[in-house]
Chain A
């Protein structure tokens, strides 16, 4: 307000200056003129004039009196009595003197000085004067002489009659004109005075009008102000927020009804009291007082004018509650005031806290679930792998036909169980946000064909026919994540087969529209079955995790209820959607819509090669520090017909990769000298002949973030430990397209006998002996004092290495414990480590006795 003065105020200031100046000028003129008029009047009053007219006429009168005296004497003649005569003479003398004196006045008085300048007056005056002067001697002479000369004097004097007349007339005329001029002058001055007075009056009138309008304007604006005030008071009194107005010292000036309701005071109670004592809780009072003092000093303001702040306030009963507060300062006639808007947010804060804790509980629950799933899957998968591996070993022994069938059944169950566990792991990975999408050219026709082929067996088991077809023009080559689409379709098809008995499952692929944003065509995959169908109300739920439509059906169609949930997650990860349309009793249509950009046909694709069933011997490099593991892998691969080169640490692996181009490299992760990730980076960036060949990570760590790390390092694929032949085969097939036709490839040599058979007695015993030595050494290191003060990272590496060997010798329990020890060291959980160390030593003591050690 201070900086910008309203326009009308500036104008009126100018107007006041102008009017003031005008007034000053007019007033000065009026005063000057008034003074002139007063002077004029004064002059006329003091009138030098006296009675000039009187004097002038008196000249004639006195002249005639003089003549009369002379004539009187002459008339009477000398016959008169002597005293009479004497009287006559003295009368003549007296009249002469009077006349003389009069003329003398005319000659010398300054009243007549201007008149004397005019010849009409000067000439007769001179004549008169000379006559009088000439007569003086006779008058002053003795009576006799005067007597004698009376006649002459009369003659001379009477000739001057016309002069006297002219003298007085011209004088009167002159003075008449003079006074005319003076009157005209005065009249002019008066006229000017009148004019100026009129101007002054006019100016006054103008000012009056101006003042009238100004006054009206002020009255109007004050009315507006009063209105605004009233409005403001209404706003204040109806405000839902508490409003407290205080002066600069914190004394309450205003306390609106909302504030009364919030704090439990009435305005009358609090007016003039200190805000701090009323509403600031004791623990904030020091800060409040400090803030007030700072404000009074004109220092920094922490709250005033800083927008909304959340603080605590105190009610009349002393209860402290949270408020949202905004302070602003303003200036009124009494100085600075502070206006506070307060909102009781205790309910909101309570709600928020409840929400937060609910969310925290939910998150914690979700996290616990995810952790549980991940851990359980992992914990289940490891022994399951053991069961499956041992089953395949058992299958290779001499068995009766029944036993073979039992083993076959167990293997099938094992595979199903493993796929369920893998599903759960997939979900856990997806929920952890670790799912990555890799896009490469994929032949959709081949992919769908492959699925139909692979599922035809299980379809046939349930009396179902399975088929697929393109609708419209086939455009099979797209860039996408083939394994994910394969998984989606497998789940949908598997689901369809499960719920259809003696019916038909058909898969349709059709291009239908395109994505608005990327312009990629939408591919719609439809899996149509003639099965039991889904009730309308269940259609929305089938994609939920662990959903099974009907518990009884769930028995018939074994399933975790995760398949469709995984399909939906994967479809979303690819930017698409899934859905279902169904008619109970008639069947269902599950569809997937995915935006898939077209692609050039890929190079010889895995599926084509697999379709062709080409057998190819690969040139492979295996990098693995554990001699036993290395030996096992090597045996497996050589049995598959591949040529194997080995390296025992990352460094030598990198060197070996630099010598020639391998078809693929299998790389352990934890290795001395240089770990697998670093070695992979070196190979990828080194520009050597093997810089771009597939590198398969070999690790016991199958957790999502670990796998992610492998990918980041540049690894192509991943095989979990312990290694099985089919897993190895799959991995090689997926990264190289190589396909080993020998389906009857030997199982994993994880039985001690098979190992002995594979390696030969000497080598086996040497390896076993070495393993025992290493394990004995480790047991010593695991004594408390040793691990507490020794090199923990070396201990960790040792555990990791020996764990791999333990698996090979069938000591899975020992392996698990060693991995636990490794993890405990990693996590620096010393308490747990102590327990695990004891368990390891105990376990080793019992396991050692079972080993066929040559004494």
Chain B
């Protein structure tokens, strides 16, 4: 179990300024994640859109774990889903996570903890291409707890993620 919560305090402070504004900053490059539905903080008409830079500026958590889909141990770095939901001011309900091939899974907000899962944007120190299940992948620390090795958790570990919708 190697959860290395690499929380970068400086970045949190940097984020604090725009977060206090009523509106989320606009993405400056390609949007990699669109959050919609029952959320409080938006940067567009009805959605909150993020580019990689915005995600990378948020507090990061890192896991080193094996997965059932890859070979060997991988080190993932990403934003805890909880933080992301905090940012968009979503506190309850269910998150519908959808991949680029429109594959959708349901993640109840209540099941989300402070560190698991993360919305990973780096694997082994590099950004993930679409062929490598990138650019975003919901990852749990599978090796750390048998709780994270269930069918439900595996099914929630959606890759090639590009949309989140919070519903009640």
Contact = CB atoms under 8 A, between A and B. Distances in A.
A49 B151 CA distance: 8
Nearest to A96: B131
Given A98-B101, A108-B69, A108-B70, A45 B151 contact: yes
A39 to B, nearest CB: 11
Contact of A98 (B100, B154, B155): B100
A98 B129 CA distance: 11
Nearest to A104: B131
Contacts of A787: none
Contacts of A62: 101
Interface in A98-112: 98, 100-101, 104-105, 108-111
A50 B151 contact: yes
B68 interface: yes
Nearest to A46: B149
B131 A109 contact: no
Nearest to B68: A111
B68 A109 contact: yes
Which 4 residue pairs of A and B lie closest in terms of their CB atoms, listed nearest first? A97-B130, A46-B149, A50-B154, A100-B131
B20 interface: no
From B132, B151, B155, residue with most partner A Cβ within 10 Å: B151
Interface string B60-73: 00000000111100
Nearest to A50: B154
A46 B129 contact: no
Given A50-B68, A109-B69, A110-B68, A97 B131 contact: yes
A94 B133 CA distance: 12
B146 to A, nearest CB: 6
Contacts of B132: 101, 104
29 contacts: A46-B146, A46-B150, A46-B151, A47-B151, A47-B154, A49-B151, A50-B151, A51-B154, A58-B103, A94-B130, A95-B101, A97-B130, A98-B101, A98-B130, A98-B160, A100-B130, A100-B131, A101-B131, A101-B132, A101-B133, A101-B160, A104-B132, A105-B69, A108-B69, A109-B69, A109-B70, A109-B71, A110-B71, A111-B69
A473 interface: no
A65 interface: yes
Contacts of B129: 97
Given A46-B150, A94-B100, A51 B155 contact: yes
A100 to B, nearest CB: 4
A334 interface: no
Interface string B122-139: 000000011111000000
Nearest to B129: A97
Interface string B65-107: 0001111000000000000000000000000000011010000
A62 B146 CA distance: 31
A17 B47 CA distance: 75
A105 B132 CA distance: 9
A42 interface: yes
B134 to A, nearest CB: 9
Interface SS of chain B? loop
A659 interface: no
Contacts of A48: 68, 149
A104 B150 CA distance: 22
Given A50-B68, A94-B130, A104-B132, 14 more contacts: A42-B146, A47-B150, A48-B68, A50-B154, A65-B101, A97-B160, A98-B130, A98-B160, A101-B133, A101-B159, A101-B160, A104-B131, A109-B68, A110-B71
Given A51-B155, A111-B68, A45 B130 contact: no
Contacts of A65: 101
A45 B131 contact: no
Nearest to B128: A101
Nearest to B149: A46
Interface residues on B, range: 20 to 34
Nearest to A111: B68
A43 to B, nearest CB: 10
Contacts of A101: 130-133, 159-160
Contacts of A109: 68-71
Interface of A: 42, 45-51, 58, 62, 65, 94-95, 97-98, 100-101, 104-105, 108-111
Contacts of B131: 97, 100-101, 104
Contacts of A50: 68, 151, 154-155
A108 B72 CA distance: 9
Contacts of A45: 150-151
Contacts of A95: 101
Nearest to B70: A108
Nearest to B154: A50
Contacts of B103: 58
A750 B154 CA distance: 163
Nearest to A103: B131
Contacts of A104: 131-132
Nearest to A106: B69
A136 B1 CA distance: 36
B6 to A, nearest CB: 26
Contacts of B151: 45-47, 49-51
Contacts of A98: 100-101, 130, 160
A334 B101 CA distance: 88
Contacts of B149: 46, 48
Contacts of B154: 47, 50-51
A100 B129 CA distance: 11
Nearest to A100: B131
Nearest to B103: A58
Contacts of B100: 94, 97-98
Contacts of B150: 45-47
A611 B154 CA distance: 157
Contacts of A105: 69, 133
Contacts of A97: 100, 129-131, 160
Nearest to A62: B101
Contacts of B155: 50-51
Contacts of B68: 48, 50, 109-111
Contacts of B101: 62, 65, 95, 98
Nearest to A109: B69
A56 to B, nearest CB: 13
A104 B70 CA distance: 9
Contacts of A51: 151, 154-155
Contacts of B146: 42, 46
A49 B71 CA distance: 16
Nearest to A93: B130
Contacts of B160: 97-98, 101
Nearest to A113: B71
A624 to B, nearest CB: 141
A45 B129 CA distance: 31
A533 to B, nearest CB: 136
A809 B67 CA distance: 162
Interface string B109-127: 0000000000000000000
Nearest to A51: B155
A48 B150 CA distance: 8
A328 B31 CA distance: 108
Contacts of A42: 146
Interface in B128-168: 129-133, 146, 149-151, 154-155, 159-160
A695 to B, nearest CB: 133
Given A62-B101, A98-B100, A108 B71 contact: yes
A840 to B, nearest CB: 140
Nearest to A110: B68
A171 to B, nearest CB: 15
